[in-house]
Structure 1
Amino acid sequence: MFKLNLKIALRNLWKNKGITAINVGGLAIALAAFILVMMYFTYETSFDKKNPNYDNIYIVGRTFPDFKTNFTPPPFSKAIKDAFPEVVAAGKMKPGGFEFAAFTDQGTVFTKQQLFMEYEAAKMFNIVPEGGLEKPNGTETFYYLSKPYMQTLYPNKADNKPEIVAFGSKAEPMTGQVKGSIIPDPHSNISFDALSIVNEIGVGESYGYPNYYTYIQVKPGTDVTALESKINTLYQAELKKNGMIEEGENATVTTAFLDPLKNQHLRPKAGNDANYKVLIALSLLGFAILIIACINFTNL
């Protein structure tokens, strides 16, 4: 009986081979599209997940009446670290606002994503140069280039020793030491092609210079909502103490907030969530295509 039913089914499929090919091909294309969408979904939702501190890192931002920003004043990170024991680390970073040339006799590169970062932030984000992450002494600065840039400048380099590189104009160059190279993670919110690591950035700058990204790492199990409230209270107190709020002025016009690292790529509080909406729409479309193809196939 089974063989007879199989023969009848095969005969019907052959008789309607055009429709059969369309349905089978449609299902195959739908499956391929669904798999691609799911791969894209996984990629977009896993930025920085390789970081062992992923679930405990937050960026400190500020809310104004008309907008939100992730830029904060430099003294605030130390104030947070000193005030709250649940904060195990606090570090700042600042993107460079310029592009410059670095060159040797063997090649030239143009750094477009210069990043200044504190040692604590480098540890927090698990940034490890080739040869290991070292803590600068005092006001010492360790300057690194991305691995591809270092290979362009020194194509035959086979060790992790520092090198001397010229910067700026070839007519009147300035020289400096490059500590080593770093293989940047393209799947991270922290991107750079040149990195300066120091113990502290923004030294001597007050609350009137909110030009830095402040990240904190909290202890596992920390009540983040309660911590956010305490950080906001601290921020108001710091503004008053440093003369940033005049007598009688409403101190709550500007508030501080915490935003988890996992939100920074798709749903940042101080940013645009258009990418997140596109991702959800593509995912729903992928499911819809797969369901329609399956229904057509079952009606074969």
Structure 2
Amino acid sequence: MNLNNLKIAWRNALKTKLFTALNILGLAMGFAGFILAYLYINRETSYDRWNANYNQIYLVGLSYQGNNTDLTPPALATAIKATLPEVTEVGRVSYFPYELPFISDDGQAFVNDWKAADLSIIRMFGIEVFGNAVHQGDHPELNLITPEMAQALFPDSAGLTFEPRLIALQNEQSGMYYHIHGVTKPRKLSNLTYDAIFFKPDLAGDRQGDPLPYQTYIQVKPGTDIDQLDKKIKHLYKQEISQQHHVATSAFAKGTTYLDPLKNLHLKPKHGLNTGYITVWALAVLSGVILLLAGINFANLMIAQANRRAREIGIKKVFGVSRIGLAVQFMCEVVIQCVLAAGIAWLLVVLCRDGLQQWLAYDLAPVASGGQQAWQLLLAAVMTALVSGIYPAAILSGYRPVSILKGNFQTSHRTAWFRHALLTFQFVIAVVFISGMLIINRQLDYVRDGDKGFDPAQVIYIKNAMLLNNPADFKPFRDRMQAYPGIEYATVATSVPGGIGPAKKEFVYANETHRADHIAVDFDYVETMGMEVLQGRSFTDAFPADSAKGALVNETLVKAFGIQNPIGKTIRGCDTDFQIAGVVKDSKIAGFEQLVAPTVYSIKNPCGQYKTEILVKTRQGTARETLATLGKDWKSINRLDGEYFRYEFVDQKYAALHAQQVQLE
């Protein structure tokens, strides 16, 4: 009999340990999800927080007809600095929006992010340089690169500090030579990114007629009334800057300025999408709900164990343990299990770090060393323990010892309603989650497979630095490339899907002014991109007028401008009268998250951007062979950058627009 009792006791103890282990493992899975979610949240909300000027820096942008841009005329920065004493620093940034080879005697590197800026940007954004390059020789210009670029360009360098070194851009025959004066120290996450950044005391040179736009940043004195400052800058822009000729002809001549704080620029910039901000909030809510569900499940399992612990409770109460003492004991047990589960979750994430880094596509080093993450996890563990442990502790500590020891104790009728309510809540949340995931998956399927208005399959974007603005400039390229049996069409444009955005200009029709995108193209653009002509025709060299004034417009423009029977009608923009030759189907070249803008396509290129983006459409199954042949012959086709044949598949470049959403799927 005693042996049987020992076996029963051993089995019960084993069941209890297994039960506890399963509880802890379930909680650990919930905490692992919490860690991953807050790893992403902490990363996305950390941009520039390390900067001592974080709360004093603002971007000055322009707004017109509900559209915002982060670009402003260069003279605005000069006027702000001269007239507004509450602004302590003003800095402009411009960028070269193309990939470009940097070449030294010892190596080369392809630079995707090359910026130029006023020297004041160094102070505003906390850029530090190895050695004393900032003061060395009082350089009127200061050209800096990152350590990664330095390693590629100067692999034999003894260190990260050196005398100015000469590099060539594009190739040794380009005539573009610059000195590199130093290497920037590694920086934490910032909205100001670069592979190379070249500084000047005055980036725009105070040229009042400079037509190029810049990002304009200001740093204000602590305690500045931002609303009043915003009004002053609006007035300054309206009274002085908008009257200048090169501004008066732009789409934002009638616009107004706005201030956007640095803390908003990464997640919810006024000139961009707030997808990142929504994602952060969604993950925060989702991680909280996951922990709540884990806590509810934990509470349910504890209540289900009540009968097994009844005898223990009865004996302790007989020996004088108070209800408060029992409640504290049970709460301590829950806290210990939650903290243990959190520790296991942390260990699991650290052990799986390499695989998770590849899956999530960002560094997980903060998991192992981030104090913020540890405190968040500890707080989550304590909160989960409180939520999941208070009710079970109150129930268990309230059992009456007399009933327990007489053997007629039952708990199911006391806790059934609560357990059923918890199970119902879990079921409802599970249904909501599953429904939400199905909706998200359908949306992502639509992004991947939905009608884009163009066909990126078999289209290749060839990177190029030569200006090909006129059809005569590109004709030798097109003739050579279309001679290859694997190439069906070849063209050039100012924009490619997933790349540089179109020029935004004002167009006039029937004495009404509208805002529209402009993309300068060449013959065969519609055919290369697989676009559908709804009315009229595409561009063709059979009509010489197409090169001088021909235009294709999308269906959104026809509706927005209110054009009836658009073929042959004239719209005016960029000091040019365009005659509509055809209407093409709307193309979502900026992705599915943005509304299709009214768009004008023309061969003539009067709107400021340059035709450099070469596009070729290959025949099915010939891409690899064609690219290999083009790579060998490119130097004879493109003498400027033929030594560096670089390309991207347009479907992959376009897919990068939605990489964040797919990553979080």
- Normalising by the smaller structure, the TM-score range is 0.7 to 0.9
The question of whether the paired residues in 2 share the 8 Å contact of 1:139 and 1:198 is answered with no
Aligned-pair CA distance for 1:20: 4.8
SS in 2 for 1:161: coil
Distance change (3 Å), C-alpha of 1:89 and 1:175: closer
Aligned-pair CA distance for 1:138: 9.5
Aligned-pair CA distance for 1:14: 3.3
- Once residues 40 and 194 of structure 1 are traced to their aligned partners in structure 2, the CA distance between those partners, rounded to angstroms, is 27
Does 1:209 find its partner at 2:211? Answer: yes
Bigger-Rg structure (1/2): 2
Aligned-pair CA distance for 1:142: 1.8
Q: Which residue of 2 aligns with 1:288?
A: 289
Q: Which residue of 2 aligns with 1:102?
A: 102
Distance change (3 Å), C-alpha of 1:174 and 1:227: closer
SS in 2 for 1:89: strand
Q: Which residue of 2 aligns with 1:263?
A: 264
Amino acid aligned to 2:43 = Y
Structure 2 unaligned runs (5+)? 1-7, 302-665
Q: Which residue of 2 aligns with 1:142?
A: 142
Identity rate, percent? 35
The question of whether the paired residues in 1 share the 8 Å contact of 2:58 and 2:259 is answered with yes
Cα offsets for 1:232-256 (capped at 9, x unmatched)? 011100145535559xxxx994111
Q: Which residue of 2 aligns with 1:3?
A: none
The 5 Å alignment of 1:1-300 reads: 14-15=14-15, 20-132=20-132, 134=134, 140-157=140-157, 158=159, 159-170=161-172, 174-185=176-187, 187-203=189-205, 205-206=207-208, 209=211, 211-239=213-241, 241-243=243-245, 253-300=254-301
Q: Which has the higher helix share?
A: 2
The question of whether the paired residues in 2 share the 8 Å contact of 1:143 and 1:178 is answered with yes
Normalising to structure 2: TM-score of the pair? Answer: 0.41
The question of whether the paired residues in 2 share the 8 Å contact of 1:164 and 1:178 is answered with yes
The question of whether the paired residues in 1 share the 8 Å contact of 2:103 and 2:167 is answered with yes
The question of whether the paired residues in 1 share the 8 Å contact of 2:51 and 2:126 is answered with yes
Normalising to structure 1: TM-score of the pair? Answer: 0.86
The question of whether the paired residues in 2 share the 8 Å contact of 1:107 and 1:154 is answered with yes
Cα offsets for 1:127-184 (capped at 9, x unmatched)? 1221246369999322122111111222232233222223322466654321011135
SS in 1 for 2:55: helix
Cα offsets for 1:205-250 (capped at 9, x unmatched)? 447735100000000000101110111011100145535559xxxx
- Once residues 115 and 135 of structure 2 are traced to their aligned partners in structure 1, the CA distance between those partners, rounded to angstroms, is 17
SS in 1 for 2:296: helix
Greater Cα shift, 279-288 or 28-37: 28-37
Distance change (3 Å), C-alpha of 1:175 and 1:60: closer
SS in 2 for 1:109: strand
Q: Which residue of 1 aligns with 2:306?
A: none
Cα offsets for 1:45-95 (capped at 9, x unmatched)? 110111111110000011100400110000101111111111011110101
Distance change (3 Å), C-alpha of 1:42 and 1:94: same
Q: Higher relative contact order by CA 8 Å / sep ≥ 6: 1 or 2? A: 1
Q: Which residue of 1 aligns with 2:444?
A: none
- Once residues 19 and 296 of structure 1 are traced to their aligned partners in structure 2, the CA distance between those partners, rounded to angstroms, is 13
The question of whether the paired residues in 2 share the 8 Å contact of 1:124 and 1:217 is answered with yes
- Once residues 136 and 62 of structure 1 are traced to their aligned partners in structure 2, the CA distance between those partners, rounded to angstroms, is 37
- Once residues 9 and 227 of structure 2 are traced to their aligned partners in structure 1, the CA distance between those partners, rounded to angstroms, is 62
Cα offsets for 1:246-297 (capped at 9, x unmatched)? 9xxxx99411110000000001111100111011111100000011101111
Q: Which residue of 1 aligns with 2:480?
A: none
- Once residues 293 and 77 of structure 1 are traced to their aligned partners in structure 2, the CA distance between those partners, rounded to angstroms, is 54
Aligned-pair CA distance for 1:13: 6.6
Q: Which has the higher strand share?
A: 1
Cα offsets for 1:175-210 (capped at 9, x unmatched)? 432101113525000010011100112225447735
Distance change (3 Å), C-alpha of 1:64 and 1:231: same
Amino acid aligned to 1:93 = V
- Once residues 238 and 10 of structure 1 are traced to their aligned partners in structure 2, the CA distance between those partners, rounded to angstroms, is 88
The question of whether the paired residues in 2 share the 8 Å contact of 1:71 and 1:210 is answered with no
- Once residues 67 and 174 of structure 1 are traced to their aligned partners in structure 2, the CA distance between those partners, rounded to angstroms, is 36
- Once residues 16 and 274 of structure 2 are traced to their aligned partners in structure 1, the CA distance between those partners, rounded to angstroms, is 47
The question of whether the paired residues in 2 share the 8 Å contact of 1:184 and 1:193 is answered with no
Q: Which residue of 1 aligns with 2:320?
A: none
Structure 1 unaligned runs (5+)? 1-7
Greater Cα shift, 156-165 or 94-103: 156-165
- Once residues 80 and 217 of structure 1 are traced to their aligned partners in structure 2, the CA distance between those partners, rounded to angstroms, is 11
Amino acid aligned to 1:119 = L
- Once residues 138 and 72 of structure 1 are traced to their aligned partners in structure 2, the CA distance between those partners, rounded to angstroms, is 29
The question of whether the paired residues in 2 share the 8 Å contact of 1:136 and 1:198 is answered with no
SS in 1 for 2:198: strand
Amino acid aligned to 1:229 = K
